[in-house]
Amino acid sequence: MPLTPMRVLLDHAAENGYGVAAFNVNNMEQIQAIMAAAEKLDAPVIIQASRGARSYSQDAYLRHLMLAAVELHPRIPVAMHQDHGNSPETCLSAIAHGYTSCMMDGSLMADGKTPATYEYNVEVTRRVVVEAHKRGVTVEGELGCLGGIEDGHGAGLTGAEALAHLTDPAQAERFVADTGVDALAVAIGTSHGAYKFKQKPTGEVLKMDIIAEIHRRLPRTHLVMHGSSSVPKELIDIINEYGGKMPETYGVPVEEIQEGIRHGVRKINVDTDNRLAMTGAIRKVFATNPGEFDPRAYLTPARAAMQQVCEARMIAFGQAGQASKVPVRSLEEMARTYARG
């Protein structure tokens, strides 16, 4: 099965009431962990790369790793997604490298740090939608600004400033009409990175009611939760047990994500949890066997640890058992669908 347009996965998720985890990758072991989990659980997946990942791994390596993934796992529908494209040029370059989905994050200027105007966001996002849809490629947009910074991307908003940049449901309705995006990432109080909250988030900081209202206004638009790693305490404990010094921190509870799924969230970004799992496994090898120098000796348990996290998220989000039910549609078919309006 070739790489799948992300819209196909999100449409199927919407029709069947589940969410799809979108896992960030930088290397072979991460892709292997995701695909092993997907194969074991019969789960469709979204594999995504940030600009930082594309720079680190280089596009040709990532492209061929993804082609290997679909070759080795032909029954699993996989979408390849550009995460947080900072400009139309970034998105179009991803499409040229075979990505079946891209995010035009026009909520920030091209520097990936400065909050943008609504007009700028519409202009750059609409430009990507027009070009991407000609090729059958899915487009995710963003309205509002998340807190935190990851991979050099983010405005670094905190406190009252972050609350001032939450997504406005009425503006979201207008934005989808103005741009034609397939999916919309919304700012509800989540943030990038491991250090999201100093205590378990409540309705005061995690505004799930925003998602519910946007879904009421836009029942046919797929919603996206960014900054949604759960930052499990047990993963931090492993890191600290074997020499790490991570302070106490809290992520987004899985039950809150499940609430979002009930209100139209179809794509959930997960990155930090996998980084924590791999880091803990590697630290354990080095601490318990300080003479070890074979990368396979520490990357193999790291890969297994990440696979466990992926499996847990796939089950929690409801995508397990769905891969074999997803219809097969090519980019060419999606392009014809978009052309028909």
Residue positions annotated with a catalytic role: 83
Tokens 């309205």 sit on residue: 143
Instruction: Identify the burial level of 154 via C-beta atoms within 10 angstroms of its C-beta, where 0-12 means exposed, 13-18 middle and 19 or more buried.
Output: buried
Q: Which of 101, 100, 46, 44 is nearest to 75 (CA)?
A: 44
Residue 186 carries which DSSP code? E
Strands (E), 136-239: 138-143, 183-186, 222-225
Distance CA 105, CA 114 (A): 12
Q: How far does CA 53 lie from the centroid of its chain?
A: 13
Length of the chain: 341
> What six digits make up the tokens of 87?
């400009």
Instruction: Identify the burial level of 196 via C-beta atoms within 10 angstroms of its C-beta, where 0-12 means exposed, 13-18 middle and 19 or more buried.
Output: buried
**DSSP letter string, 291-310:** T---HHHHHHHHHHHHHHHH
Is the CB of residue 143 less than 8 Å from the CB of residue 76?
A: no
What value does the CA radius of gyration of the chain take, rounded to a whole number of Å?
19
What kind and span of H or E run contains 46? strand 45-49
